[in-house]
Chains A and B, each alone.
Chain A
Amino acid sequence: MKLGRRTFLQIAGATGTAALVTLPGRARAAGAASTPGEDERSVLVDTTKCVGCRGCEAACAEANNLPDPPTDGEAFAAMRPTGPECFTVVNRTEKADGTPRYVKRQCMHCVEPACASACPVRALDKQATGPVAYDGSKCMGCRYCMVACPFSVPKYQYAKAIPMVRKCTFCAGRQAEGKLPACIGVCPSGALEYGTRGELVKEARRRVYGSPDKYTQHIYGEHEAGGTNWMYITDVPFEKLGFEVAVNDNSYPKLVKGALGVPPVVMTLWPPLLMGLWAFSHREGKGQGGHHE
C-alpha cells in the first residue's frame, strides 16, 4: 500500500501538477542545516527563572481587552488551560524538593503552524516575522484549526451567536509597531527572553547542555511540531508542567502533503481513464452497443 501511494505521488510529480499544492516557499526555504524560522521573532521561556507573579496574565488581559485574571488562590488550584477570554495562563507545579515551578502557557506560534495550514479561508495565517495571527473577518467558524492544533490552543466563543476563534496572537499588532508583546514587556524576572529563533535556539542549547546538572535535557519547542517560536527549558519533567509530550517532531502541515497530492492526480487522470472505459464498454460489436437513448 505504501508503494501504491508513493507511485501515486511520483505520477503527480511527473505530471507537474503537484506544484499546485506545494507549500508557499516563504520562510521555509531555509537550508537544511540552519534552524527552521531562524529570523522569526521568538521567545525562550526559562521556567527556572519564573517567579509566578502572573504579571504577564494581567498585561495580556489589558492589551487584548480580556476580563481580569483570577486571584492567585484560584489560579494555582489546578492546571488551567487557556480559554476564549484568556490567552495566557501561568500554571504551578513543584519540584521533588517542594520548590515551586511556574510555567506560562499560550500559543506556541509554530514555525509551520497546523492551524494556519488547516484554515481553508486563511483567517489564521503565519506572518513572516513569526506570529500566527488571526483575522476574524475571514473566519467561517469551522473549528478545523482546533482539530488540527497539536497543542489544543485555539479556543472558540461557543457562548456567542456570532463567534470567533481566540488565541494569543504574539501581539502581532504591537510587534508591527516596534513594541514588545505585552507579556514580555512586563516580565520582571527575565524568564521570557525575546529575540530571533536562531539566537534563542543557540542560547537554549548553551544553557541546557552547558549545565546538564541544572536543566532537563530537552528544549521543548526546538523540534516539537517541526519547531515553535515559543520554546521552553526547565528543571522538571515537561509532563509535570502540563506539556503535550506526544507531539510529533515533524511539521504538521507536511503530514497531509501526500493526501493533498491526490486531487491533481485524480483531476488529470480520471477523465481520460473514465472516457477510455466508456469507449471500451461501448465499442463496436459489443451486443447492443452505443449509448442508451
Chain B
Amino acid sequence: MNSGFATAERSGSWVQERILLGMTFREYLRSLWTPFNVVCAAILAVGLPVLVARFYLGLGATTNLSQTQPWGLWIGFDMMTGIALAAGGFTIGATVEIFGLEEYHSIERPAILTGFLGYMMAVIGLIADLGKPWNMIGIFSNNGTQSVLFEVAWCVVCYTTVLLLEFSVPFFEWLGWERFYRPLKKALLGLTVLSVMFSTMHQSALGSLFIIAPGKLHPLWYSSQIFLFFFVSAVIAGICMVIVESAISHNLFSEQFEGHHVDVDKLMLGLAKAGAVVMFAYFFLKLQGVIDNHALGLIGVGFYGKWWLLEMLGFVLAPSLMFAWGARNRKVGIVRVAAFLGVTGIVVNRLNVSFIAYNYNQAVRYWPSWMEISVSIALVVIGVLAFRWIVNRMPVFHPMKGSAGHH
C-alpha cells in the first residue's frame, strides 16, 4: 500500500505512465480518434440511452416481450450466452492451476478477464430485464430453495465475487500494491477450485431452468438432463472462446507480445485436441438426450428438425472434426475457423433454448425489438472496450514492466 501511495504522490507521471500509456492528455485524446472507436461510440450512443430509457418507459415500450414470451434477447443472449462464453475463465484456470499444465499460463489471465467482463455484462443485462431489480436482495433472505433460479442467482453472486478476486491479482500488481497482490496470488489455487465449483453449478443450472417447462420447449431441445448438456457445452464454449479471443488478441495487441516467446500456436493445437474430444462427446450426449425424450423421429422434420440438424452437424460435429484434423496436421488456421463455428454454435444453442425453440407451438412468435438488440450490442461493445482498456494497461498478456513478473 505504501508503495502505491508513494507512486501516487508523483501523480502526474503515474497517471501519464499507467493510465494515459505514456502520452499527454491531449495526445491520448487524439489517439482515441480511430474508425473502430467511432463505430463503438455510435453503437453506445444508441444503446446506452435505450438502456436508461427502459427504466422509465418499462419493458412493454422497449421490448417485444409478451404474456406468452416472458424471456427474450436480454436473457437469451446477455445472460444465457454471455455466461457460457465466459466459461474460459474456469476452464483455463483449472487447466493451469489444478491440472498443472503450466504452458497454458500465458492465456490464463486473458481468459479470467474475459470471464469477469462476461459476467459483469450479463449482470447488467439481467438488471435491465428485471422488473424490480432492487428486490434481488430477497434471494439472501427469502429461502426460495425450490427454485432453480435461486441456485442461479446465488451462483452469479458467488462466482462474480470469485472472478473479481481472481482478476484483482493483475489489478493489484498493476497498482503496485504488493500487500494485496502477494496473498491473493497465493490464494489463486483456492479461488480456482471455487471457480470450477460455482461454474459447474451455474452453467448447468442455467439449463435446469427449463426443466420445469416441458410443454413449452421443443422436444428436440427439452431434456430432463439438460443441465449436463449446458455444462458440457459451456466447457466447449470456454475452449472455443479462448482460441477465438487469442487469435483476435494476437492481431490487435501484437505489440504486447514482443519479446515474449510463447508458442501460442502450440497452445491452440492443444486446446483443439481437447475441444475435438469434448465436442464429439457432446454430440452423442445430445443425441442420447433426444432418444431418451422419444423425439428421434422429429430430427430433420419441419423447420425445427432441420434447425436442430444444422446446430448439431454444422456447429458441433463439423467443428469437432475440424479441430481433430487441425490438431493432427498442425493447421492453426482450420482450428481458428472451427473455434469460431463452435462459438457460433453455443450462441445458436442458447438462443434456441431461450426463445427460438421455446414456445415453438405458439401462434405469435417473438422477435427482439431494435431497442433490445441495441442494448445487447452495446453491452458487448462495453465488454470489448473494457477488455482493451485493461490489457493495454494491466499485466494480462505479459508481466508488469519492472516487476518480478509472474513467470
Q: Which residues of A contact B (CB under 8 A)?
A: 1-2, 5, 20-21, 23, 81, 83-84, 114, 116-123, 137-144, 146-148, 150, 152, 155-164, 244, 246-248, 252-253, 255-256, 258-260, 262-263, 266-267, 270-271, 274-275, 277-278, 281-282, 286, 288, 291-293
The reply to whether B70 and A139 form a contact with Cβ atoms under 8 Å apart is no
* A-side contacts of B208, CB under 8 Å: 256, 259-260, 262
Query: Which of A114, A120, A275 contacts B139 (CB under 8 A)?
Result: A120
User: Who on chain A is nearest to B54 by CB?
Assistant: A161
Find chain B residues with CB under 8 A from A288 CB. Answer: 102
Known interface pairs A158-B67, A263-B151, A278-B98; 18 further A-B residue pairs with C-beta atoms within 8 A, sorted by A's residue number: A2-B292, A118-B149, A120-B142, A120-B147, A121-B138, A138-B138, A141-B135, A146-B70, A148-B212, A148-B213, A156-B65, A158-B59, A163-B131, A252-B212, A256-B146, A256-B208, A278-B193, A286-B100
User: B148 touches which one: A155, A164, A259, A293 (CB < 8 A)?
Assistant: A259
Residues in B with CB closer than 8 Å to A259 are 148, 204-205, 208, 211, 224, 227
Count residues of B near A (Cβ-Cβ below 8 Å).
72
Q: Which of B169-177, B195-203, B386-394 contacts A (4 or more CB under 8 A)?
A: B195-203
Question: A83, A123, A255: which contacts B67 (Cβ < 8 A)?
Answer: A83
Shortest distance from the beta carbon of B258 to any chain A beta carbon, whole Å = 23
In the assembled complex, B153 has its CB within 8 A of some CB on chain A:
yes
Report if B71 contacts A (CB, 8 A). Answer: yes
- Residues of A contacting B227 with CB < 8 Å? 259, 262
A119 to B144, CA, bound (A): 6
Q: Is the CB of B98 within 8 A of A140?
A: no
Is A120 touching B153 in the complex (CB atoms < 8 A)?
yes
> Which residue of the partner chain, among A146, A163, A164, A263, contacts B201 with CB atoms under 8 Å?
A263
Q: Tell me the minimal C-beta distance from A293 to chain B in angstroms.
A: 8
Closest partner residue, chain A, to B285 (CB atom): A1
Which residues of chain A come closer than 8 Å to B144, judged between CB atoms?
119-122
Q: Are B142 and A244 in contact (CB under 8 A)?
A: no
Q: Tell me whether A118 and B59 are in contact (CB under 8 A).
A: no
Pairwise interchain contact A292-B215, C-beta atoms closer than 8 A: no
On whether A162 and B131 interact (CB within 8 A), knowing A21-B145, A122-B142, A263-B201, the answer reads yes
Given that A120-B149, A163-B132, A270-B193 are contacting pairs, would A147 and B70 also be in contact in the complex, using a CB cutoff of 8 Å? yes
B residues less than 8 Å from A162 (CB atoms): 131-132
Instruction: Choose among A137, A141, A161, A256 the residue with the greatest number of B CB atoms under 10 Å from its CB.
Output: A256
The verdict on A161 contacting B58 (CB below 8 Å), with A120-B149, A122-B144, A144-B209 known, is: yes
B71 and A147 form a contact (CB under 8 A): yes
Q: How far is the CB of B210 from chain A (nearest CB, A)?
A: 8
Is B68 interfacial (CB 8 A cutoff)? yes
Q: In the assembled complex, how far is the CB of residue B170 from the closest CB belonging to chain A, in whole angstroms?
A: 15
Q: Is B274 in the interface zone, CB < 8 Å from A?
A: no
Whether A159 touches B292, Cβ cut-off 8 Å, given contacts A120-B150, A138-B135, A141-B135, is no
Chain B residues closer than 8 Å to A258, beta-carbon distance: 224
User: Are B193 and A275 in contact, with the CB atoms below 8 A?
Assistant: yes
Name the residue in A23, A123, A140, A248 with the highest tally of chain B Cβ atoms < 10 Å from its Cβ. A140
List B contacts of A248 (CB < 8 A).
214-215
B33 within 8 A of A: no
Q: Which of B100, B133, B152, B224 contacts A281 (CB 8 A)?
A: B100
Q: Is B228 among interface residues, defined by CB-CB distance under 8 A? A: yes
A117 touches B146 (CB 8 A): yes
Contact A266/B200 with A142-B130, A162-B131, A292-B102 known, Cβ cut-off 8 Å: yes
How far is it, in angstroms, between the C-alpha of A1 and the C-alpha of B289 when the chains are bound?
9
Q: Which residues in window 215-260 of B have CB below 8 A to A?
A: 215-216, 224-225, 227-228
Residues of chain B lying within 8 A (CB to CB) of residue A1? 225, 228, 285, 288-289, 292
Residues of the A chain whose Cβ atoms lie less than 8 Å from the Cβ of B134: 140
Does B148 contact A260, Cβ atoms closer than 8 Å?
Answer: yes
- When chains A and B are docked, how far (Å) is the Cα of A142 from the Cα of B61? 17
28 examples of A-B residue contacts, CB within 8 angstroms: A1-B228, A1-B288, A1-B292, A2-B292, A20-B145, A84-B67, A118-B146, A118-B148, A120-B150, A138-B135, A141-B133, A143-B70, A150-B213, A152-B67, A155-B67, A158-B58, A158-B63, A162-B131, A163-B59, A244-B215, A258-B224, A259-B148, A260-B151, A262-B204, A263-B205, A270-B197, A271-B193, A292-B102
In the complex, what's the smallest C-beta–C-beta distance from A207 to chain B, in angstroms? 28
Interface flag for B265 (CB, 8 Å): no
- Per CB-CB distance, the 7 closest pairs between chain A and chain B, nearest first, are A141-B131, A158-B60, A121-B138, A281-B100, A143-B70, A259-B208, A146-B70
- Residues of chain B with a CB closer than 8 A to A286's CB: 100
Task: Give Cα A147 to B145, complex, Å.
Answer: 18
B200: chain A residues within 8 A (beta carbon): 266, 270
Determine whether the beta carbon of B130 is less than 8 Å from that of A138.
Answer: no
